[in-house]
A and B are shown apart, each in its own frame.
Chain A
């Protein structure tokens, strides 16, 4: 038991020392995670959908990181042709960072899958039950991060996601926005 506590303390102290470097602009080895609320708007309609999302990001270079995101819709949306009863997205991508000191503006691209539950509201499709469809998504993101403390940062970002409407011809492209507080830990000694 004592040995475990000592190991944990050594690991914690080591990571604390590593984390100081983040404030000086060094990002290589940084592991970060956030969760936030993502309001989004469909581009081809006036529909708005809110998501709860979270991501994990790892910097394998001072200027590049790998990032995975997951989103779950919080509300149903409906227009004259369909009702969207649920949406879940899982995406992976790479970000390019323009880090300078505590600031880290970035652009990124990602791809992934989206699971949609939709029901038609058109009279001709009235008898159809809600359908579930898995479809590919891809997109771009842009934003910035501000590392104000060795374990925490603020961020603001916007995402453009391209996806088809799997239930009728057309697209379900959307733009989402978020900002918040993130947690980071440096895993590498500089």
Chain B
């Protein structure tokens, strides 16, 4: 009986130790990548999707926790105006399931970003408005690993801008921009595809 308990105890301990070894395998990894983002539901743009380009790097803090540092430039327009969004921010990614760098690896993410927006009337490029704001974002995504070092990413997140917001009023083809302060949250759905390459480890996991 004692022997059985001892074996069981040893099995549990060894299993948790080996789990620990697996868990620390990817800690400290540094990834760099390029990405393209499509933005939906911009309320100043009559629902026209915006298209963006950007880059990011990732620093893996733990096997199940990654951080994503990104910069995006997103452009959209309708028949009256064009809109440029500049995003720079970061997200924390958590991997609830698989911890290995192979196949599909889904994650949830949440983060913060700073946003600069410029609206310009198409027929009169001197009629323009801009604002700085802060935003929070959250969503879901997945990696698909082509190799242990190269992964494709698809993610969907909702970004909510906090603070000053821009309203557009069109009367007889004239565009008026209204800048309103307050806590009204406006947001957009961002769909991102990207490719990242693992450059190596910044530090070794213990």
A→B interface (CB under 8 Å): 60-61, 63-64, 66, 92-94, 96, 109-113, 124-125, 128, 131, 133-138, 162-164, 166-169
**A164 CA to B74 CA in the complex, in Å?**
11
Measured between beta carbons, the chain A residues less than 8 angstroms from B123 are 124-125, 128
The reply to whether B147 and A64 form a contact with Cβ atoms under 8 Å apart is yes
The reply to whether A166 and B35 form a contact with Cβ atoms under 8 Å apart is no
**A166 CA to B73 CA in the complex, in Å?**
14
User: Is chain B's binding surface mostly helix, strand, loop or mixed?
Assistant: strand
Measured between beta carbons, the chain A residues less than 8 angstroms from B188 are none
CB-contacts of B24-71 with A (<8 A)? 34-36, 51-55
The reply to whether B125 and A128 form a contact with Cβ atoms under 8 Å apart is yes
The reply to whether A110 and B150 form a contact with Cβ atoms under 8 Å apart is no
Is B164 in the interface zone, CB < 8 Å from A?
Answer: no
User: Is chain A's binding surface mostly helix, strand, loop or mixed?
Assistant: strand
The reply to whether A111 and B125 form a contact with Cβ atoms under 8 Å apart is no
B→A interface (CB under 8 Å): 34-36, 51-55, 73-79, 82, 122-125, 146-147, 149-150, 193, 195, 197
Known: A60-B150, A92-B34, A133-B82. 19 other contacts (CB 8 A): A61-B147, A64-B150, A92-B55, A94-B197, A96-B146, A111-B34, A111-B35, A111-B54, A124-B123, A128-B123, A135-B75, A136-B36, A138-B36, A138-B51, A138-B53, A162-B51, A164-B75, A168-B122, A169-B78
22 CB < 8 A contacts A-B: A60-B149, A61-B150, A64-B147, A92-B34, A92-B55, A93-B195, A94-B197, A109-B195, A124-B123, A128-B123, A134-B73, A136-B52, A138-B36, A138-B51, A162-B51, A163-B51, A164-B75, A166-B75, A166-B77, A166-B82, A168-B79, A169-B77
The reply to whether A61 and B195 form a contact with Cβ atoms under 8 Å apart is no
Q: How far is the CB of A25 from chain B (nearest CB, A)?
A: 17
Measured between beta carbons, the chain A residues less than 8 angstroms from B55 are 92
- 5 closest Cβ pairs, A-B complex: A136-B53, A138-B36, A111-B36, A111-B53, A94-B195
The reply to whether A164 and B147 form a contact with Cβ atoms under 8 Å apart is no
Measured between beta carbons, the chain B residues less than 8 angstroms from A162 are 51
Measured between beta carbons, the chain B residues less than 8 angstroms from A64 are 146-147, 150
